[in-house]
Structure 1
């Protein structure tokens, strides 16, 4: 299946992989900036998010993204992944290192990470709201949890729309377990930037610190103003960071 996607600009290919609180619309502030800087920007919706249909069998987001890369003739790409999109990017970069030239991970998740107390409590609360049929409250729980204090109301509303759409689509469909592999971090050869937020759940800073230690040459930057979605919360600060990294500065 080809994921729903769009392409802007010409030049080296940058693939943007969204957080699983969002869909590809989360990259609205980045696409025109990256395209104007001379990149071909590809963003896609994972299955069950945005315009991509829910999976009808167990499936791999990483394989779906590689299939999209192949369909676009993108032999080598830079990957930019946020949260759950970062987990997918890690899997691609480790499993197909020759395909990934640069890897920027914003508040990334990671396969195999054992959640801490705050993340477990969040999951329990979300499950309880779903059990009560209160999707609106579950949506607000996610907005409050994942959107940091630097974000304006427009960003909060955008996350609210994206998360509610994902819930409505996914809760109405049969659930299939995702196919994931824990990445061999030693196999990653791409230049790597790890970004964490001081206002994010501690798990994601711990993941960034671990990855910075285990991926050769990786650099970790913590943003003192950021929550879990810095590219939406303050694109004016994140866009220059991404451009400098992609240019090799």
Structure 2
């Protein structure tokens, strides 16, 4: 198995940043700048994102890929920070090796604790139609409009557009192995967890955040009234401070 493309910066306690499904490791740049004084920050590109290619072969899971990277880097204990789909990967990874995870920070998390709402189902339908028609530019526009909140600067919107357009290029045009999942057992996740959700996010993610806080043994909810789905890109410095507090 190939090691994920990644950045490994700084020294000290290890913090792992797992990107959202509309992004790659570039989404965390401001957070890295805030964390590196005093932390070793590892941020991977999952398969089919950024500079990690999709390849033919046996099925894989993103959580096992990240764990293999951390083993390769000699990171025995670490804090996990995940955004959206990256938070779901973090939950899988923390379930697999809870004794190695010191803290969890989940931003606008995806998890199987709530039913998708009509707005999310409508988004999936429209995106699927556009991708099927080969209109990847309009599908990218749709993702930016859906997931980037009102406080984002224009350069952040442009970055999300570039990241998502690259993801489509990877995932739509490449013959590749199928990804799978590891089980999530919230009762095993006894480490302190910070769950963050934005006031402008889709109802599904708001409900998911509240359900996770109710289900996790030691969790706190942070609600950001200004945020959409990607607070780390919408107000990068404010979110960086929040992440720094969350990882300790």
TM-score, normalization by structure 1: 0.96
Aligned residues of 2:34 and 2:241 also touching (Cα < 8 A): no
Deviations 1:59-113 (A, max 9, x none): 1000000000100110010000000000000011112101100000000111465
Question: 2:142 and 2:176 mapped to 1: Cα distance?
Answer: 22
Is residue 134 from structure 1 mapped to residue 148 from structure 2 by the alignment?
A: no
> SS of the residue aligned with 1:200?
coil
Structure 1 residue ranges, 4+ long, deviating more than 6 angstroms after superposition: none
* 1:11 alignment partner in structure 2: 12
> SS of the residue aligned with 1:6?
strand
Deviations 1:198-235 (A, max 9, x none): 00001111111111011112001110000000011001
Question: 2:40 and 2:5 mapped to 1: Cα distance?
Answer: 16
Q: Aligned runs of 1:167-246 on 2, under 5 Å? A: 167-246=168-247
* 1:42 alignment partner in structure 2: 42
Higher RCO, Cα 8 Å, sep 6+:
2
> SS of the residue aligned with 1:163?
helix
Question: 1:189 and 1:55 mapped to 2: Cα distance?
Answer: 35
Question: 2:128 and 2:193 mapped to 1: Cα distance?
Answer: 34
Question: 1:131 and 1:173 mapped to 2: Cα distance?
Answer: 14
> SS of the residue aligned with 1:28?
helix
* 2:67 alignment partner in structure 1: 66
Question: 1:112 and 1:21 mapped to 2: Cα distance?
Answer: 21
Aligned residues of 2:114 and 2:211 also touching (Cα < 8 A): no
Q: Aligned runs of 1:136-155 on 2, under 5 Å? A: 136-155=137-156
Is residue 25 from structure 1 mapped to residue 30 from structure 2 by the alignment?
A: no
Which sections of structure 2, spanning at least 5 residues, go unmatched?
Answer: none
Question: 1:112 and 1:246 mapped to 2: Cα distance?
Answer: 24
Q: Which moved more, 1:109-118 or 1:231-240?
A: 109-118
The CA deviation at 1:173 is: 1.0
Deviations 1:114-136 (A, max 9, x none): 32111110000001111221100
* 1:52 alignment partner in structure 2: 52
Which sections of structure 1, spanning at least 5 residues, go unmatched?
Answer: none
> SS of the residue aligned with 1:30?
helix
Deviations 1:180-200 (A, max 9, x none): 133010001211000000000
